[in-house]
Amino acid sequence: MNDAADTNFPITDRNRIRRRHERGRFDKATVYDILDSAMVAHIAYVINGQPFCTPTGFWREDDVLYWHGSSASRMIRNQSDGVPVCVTATHLDAIVLARSGFHHSVNYRSVMAFGTARLVTDAAEKTRAMDGFVDRFFPGRSKEIRPPNGQEIKATSFVVMPIDEASGKIRSTHVSDEEEDYALPVWTARIPVRQVLGEPELCPRHLPGLEVPPGMRGYTEGRNLDEVLLEAYRMEYGTRD
Site for its own copies in 47-106 (CB under 8 A): 49-55, 57, 69-71, 74, 84-88, 90, 92, 94-95, 97-102, 104, 106
Of 33, 228, 217, 14, the residue nearest 113 (C-alpha): 14
Residue 5 or 227: the one with the smaller Cβ distance to its own copies is 227
Establish if 167 lies at the interface with its own copies (CB under 8 A). Answer: no
Distance, in Å, from the CA atom of 131 to the CA atom of 149, rounded to the nearest integer, reads 12
Residues in CB range of 188: below 8 A, 6 or more apart: 97, 98, 99, 175, 177
Amino acid occupying residue 127: T
Task: Give the binding range for its own copies (CB under 8 A) out of 58-66, 118-126, 147-155, 232-240.
Answer: 147-155
Of 63, 22, 216, 74, the residue nearest 138 (C-alpha): 216
Establish if 30 lies at the interface with its own copies (CB under 8 A). Answer: no
Residue 195 near residue 98, CB atoms below 8 Å? no
Establish if 116 lies at the interface with its own copies (CB under 8 A). Answer: no
Establish if 11 lies at the interface with its own copies (CB under 8 A). Answer: no
Residue 97 near residue 121, CB atoms below 8 Å? no
Residue 15 or 32: the one with the smaller Cβ distance to its own copies is 15
Residue 125 or 181: the one with the smaller Cβ distance to its own copies is 181
* From candidates 155, 172, 173, 238, binder to its own copies by CB under 8 A: 155
Distance, in Å, from the CA atom of 197 to the CA atom of 191, rounded to the nearest integer, reads 19
Residue 35 or 94: the one with the smaller Cβ distance to its own copies is 94
Residue 28 or 99: the one with the smaller Cβ distance to its own copies is 99
Establish if 123 lies at the interface with its own copies (CB under 8 A). Answer: no
Of 122, 127, 88, 125, the residue nearest 108 (C-alpha): 88
Establish if 210 lies at the interface with its own copies (CB under 8 A). Answer: yes
